[in-house]
Amino acid sequence: MGHLVPFTRLAVALSSGHGCDVSLVTALPTVSSAESRHIAALFAAFPAIRRLDLRLAPLDASAEFPGADPFYVGYEAQRRSVPLLLGPLLAGAGASALVADIALASVAVPVARELHVPCYVFFTASATMLSFKAYFPTYLDGRHGAGVASASASASATSTCPACAASRLPPSHRRCMIPRTYSRGSSSRMAGRS
């Protein structure tokens, strides 16, 4: 719901406030009944917004992600389905642009590029999280790059960033992290695998 509500608000603003022809891609099946109700209410209240159903490819979560949060499993199913299914869906709708969620940008941008439509990434979180997402690949390159020198440079560059408990990160980010110690002021913190 945390990404769905801002997206539906954007769809309404573009459709009602700016007169844009808007289609909203909805992933099916939804993860929760709250999502289903919210989507149904949106299309009932704003019939000008077209619904494009993205029927997700099956994902055996019990084998690959035992005990995982259902919302994370839903996100993973979307991430795997978008490269295969989004292109034909958008082409059939005659899309002239795509607004992709940041969580799916890595798989949606190539689809938009293939269709020759502009793609805008909609980031629904805080500026701090945007900074983290933008810097994280650089951090990983430094930690896993060529030699100890670049890992040391990366560690010193990131030591000014406030620590974040690894448990607060999405599972996909936690798998990439190497335990490390921060020193900021007089406190010492640890981030790493959980």
pLDDT per residue over 16-67, tens digit each? Answer: 989 899 999 999 999 899 999 999 999 999 999 999 999 998 888 888 888 8
More confident: 71 or 177? 71
Strands 180-184 and 187-191: antiparallel
What's the confidence (pLDDT) of residue 178? Answer: 44
What's the confidence (pLDDT) of residue 152? Answer: 44
Least confident of 21-30, 76-85, 152-161, 168-177: 152-161
* Residue pointed to by tokens 């099956």: 58
More confident: 12 or 141? 12
What's the confidence (pLDDT) of residue 174? Answer: 60
Reported as half-sphere exposure (CB side, CA atoms, 13 A), residue 9 has a value of 8
- Using only C-alpha atoms, the chain has a radius of gyration, in whole angstroms, of 20
What's the confidence (pLDDT) of residue 143? Answer: 72
Q: Which residues are catalytic?
A: 3, 101
Contact between 57 and 77 (Cβ < 8 Å): yes
What's the confidence (pLDDT) of residue 108? Answer: 95
Question: What number is the average pLDDT over the span 109-126?
Answer: 93
d(CA 71, CA 109): 22
Least confident of 1-15, 108-122, 123-137, 148-162: 148-162
Helix axes 4-12, 33-45, angle to 10 degrees: 0
What's the confidence (pLDDT) of residue 114? Answer: 96
